[in-house]
């Protein structure tokens, strides 16, 4: 009984102390509700340009750099509220993400389509919702009315550059007078703009040469693992490959492992020449060491251009239907001047 009394007394003292403290601070009615960060951010968010960004995946260093470029440019400090979604190379995930952006009524949709086919329905929904769509990196098949503009690379030009380098270099390739020039192509996923454009551009040059023989065109999915697996398979099928055209550096790194495990070498005095695309730092180093003979750059730094185009649209200015980023071709002759500044 005594203990219960003590407990009640202690509680009463605590309540009295709390009320005394409160009155010293002006009581509930005078307490100004703290300016919650949510309130501040709500005010700021209303002024921000809301962008839904559907990225196709994170399969390569190139892709990671592309994503970072857009995230850095479309930052809150730059006046944007960015909602990012990684589709992990599945078209259905991108369609889901775009529908989510539409239901959230974003101001703009930016997306890198994994494949060119299959976007009409969801892009019509975006159009009906009055949300402009900006394509980055890759294009879509179908009506150009489904998007406002494209920002990225001219993939066919990239493919042509690879072919034109080989045209100039082919006489340095050791083969018999009447021997064909045997070429294998490791491609990106069939139906992606990068695969379609690079293949089309390279084959446009190849058809000018009756002695160039395209032994195989097989997808390496733009990844190291699949690139190695596909190259190992081609080495088992063909024992006289002169040139490997690999449509991105990840597949090139995998292919080089397979070539080395087969006891073969690449480069100027090697068993075969390697042409690669993207131009990430590790690849540029291999160009400098003479292991990759020709590196066709694919520039992932597209974020600033995306931000610039959105600001134009916000200001009611006309924008072009497509914007291409600047790109180079690297060989042992010029790579040194660019390697030191490569950040990815
Ligand atoms: C090219 C881009 C390709 C890169 C690959 O614009 O679509 O996808 O070349 C990436 O590295 O996976």
Per-residue pLDDT reduced to its tens digit, 132-146: 999 999 999 989 999
Residue 218 Cα to ligand 1 middle (Å): 16
| pLDDT tens, residue by residue, 33-42 | 333 344 444 4
Task: Decide if pLDDT at 26 tops 90.
Answer: no
| Alpha carbon distance 222, 116 (integer Å) | 16
Q: Indicate the DSSP class of residue 263.
A: T
State whether the beta carbon of 221 lies less than 6 angstroms from ligand 1: no
If one compares 9 and 71, the residue with the highest pLDDT of the two is 71
Residue 300 Cα: closest atom of ligand 1: 6
Q: Indicate the DSSP class of residue 32.
A: P
pTM (2 d.p.): 0.85
Q: Max Cα separation, the chain?
A: 112
Q: Which residues contact 166 (CB under 8 A, 6 or more apart)?
A: 205, 243, 273, 275, 294
| pLDDT tens, residue by residue, 242-293 | 999 999 999 999 999 999 999 999 998 899 999 999 999 999 999 999 999 9
Taking CB atoms within 8 Å and a gap of at least 24, the contacts of 318-326 are 319/148, 319/149, 320/149, 321/144, 321/149, 321/150, 322/149, 322/150, 322/151, 323/149, 323/150, 323/151, 323/152, 324/152, 324/153, 324/154, 325/151, 325/152, 325/153, 325/299, 325/301, 326/299
Q: Whose CA is nearest to atom 2 of ligand 1?
A: 194
With bands split at pLDDT 50, 70 and 90, how would you rate the model's confidence at 8?
low
With bands split at pLDDT 50, 70 and 90, how would you rate the model's confidence at 13?
low
State whether the beta carbon of 194 lies less than 6 angstroms from ligand 1: yes
Which pLDDT value is given to residue 28?
35
> What is the total residue count of the chain?
344
Residue among 62, 70, 199 to mutate when testing ligand 1 (max atoms within 8 A of CB): 62
Which pLDDT value is given to residue 16?
57
| Alpha carbon distance 152, 136 (integer Å) | 6
Classify 81 as helix, strand or coil. Answer: strand
Task: Decide if pLDDT at 307 tops 80.
Answer: yes
State whether the beta carbon of 298 lies less than 6 angstroms from ligand 1: yes
Task: Decide if pLDDT at 46 tops 80.
Answer: no
Residue 155 Cα: closest atom of ligand 1: 6
Burial class (CB in 10 A: 0-12, 13-18, 19+), 170: middle
| pLDDT tens, residue by residue, 61-99 | 999 999 999 999 999 999 999 999 999 999 999 999 999
Backbone phi, then psi, for 277, in 5-degree steps?
A: -125, 150
With bands split at pLDDT 50, 70 and 90, how would you rate the model's confidence at 6?
low
Which pLDDT value is given to residue 189?
95
| pLDDT tens, residue by residue, 204-235 | 999 999 999 999 999 999 999 999 999 999 99
State whether the beta carbon of 253 lies less than 6 angstroms from ligand 1: no
| Alpha carbon distance 20, 118 (integer Å) | 69
Answer for the pair 334, 163: CB distance below 8 angstroms, yes or no.
Answer: no
Residue 1 Cα to ligand 1 middle (Å): 79
Which pLDDT value is given to residue 191?
95
């Amino acid at each position: 009984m005594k203990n219960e009394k003590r407990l009640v007394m202690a509680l009463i003292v605590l309540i009295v102390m709390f009320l005394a403290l409160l009155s010293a601070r002006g009581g509930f009615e005078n307490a100004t509700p703290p300016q919650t960060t949510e309130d501040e951010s709500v005010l700021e968010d209303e002024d921000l340009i809301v962008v839904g960004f559907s990225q196709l995946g994170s399969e390569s260093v190139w892709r990671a750099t592309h994503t970072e470029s857009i995230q850095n440019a479309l930052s809150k400090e730059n006046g944007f509220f960015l909602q990012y979604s990684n589709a992990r190379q599945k078209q259905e995930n991108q369609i889901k993400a775009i529908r989510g952006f539409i239901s959230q009524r974003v101001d703009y949709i930016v997306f890198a389509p994994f494949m060119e086919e299959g976007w009409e329905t969801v892009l019509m929904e975006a159009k009906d919702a009055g949300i402009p769509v900006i394509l980055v990196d890759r294009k879509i098949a179908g009506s150009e009315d489904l998007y406002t503009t494209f920002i990225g690379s001219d993939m066919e030009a990239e493919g042509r550059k690879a072919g034109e380098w080989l045209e100039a270099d082919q006489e340095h390739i050791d083969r018999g007078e009447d021997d064909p020039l045997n070429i294998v192509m490791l491609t990106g996923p069939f139906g992606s703009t990068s695969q379609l454009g690079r293949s089309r551009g390279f084959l446009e040059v190849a058809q000018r040469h009756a002695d160039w023989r395209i032994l195989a065109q097989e997808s390496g999915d733009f990844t190291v693992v699949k690139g190695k697996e596909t190259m190992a398979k081609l080495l088992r099928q063909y024992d006289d490959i002169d040139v490997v055209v690999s449509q991105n550096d990840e597949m090139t790194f995998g292919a080089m492992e397979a070539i080395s495990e087969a006891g073969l070498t690449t480069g100027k005095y090697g068993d075969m020449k390697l042409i690669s695309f993207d131009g990430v730092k590790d690849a540029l180093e291999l160009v400098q060491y003479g292991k990759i003979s020709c590196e066709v750059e694919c520039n992932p730094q597209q974020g600033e251009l995306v931000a610039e185009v959105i600001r134009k649209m916000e200001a009611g200015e006309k924008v072009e239907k497509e914007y291409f980023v600047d790109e180079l071709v690297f060989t042992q002759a010029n790579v040194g001047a660019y390697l030191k500044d490569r950040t990815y």
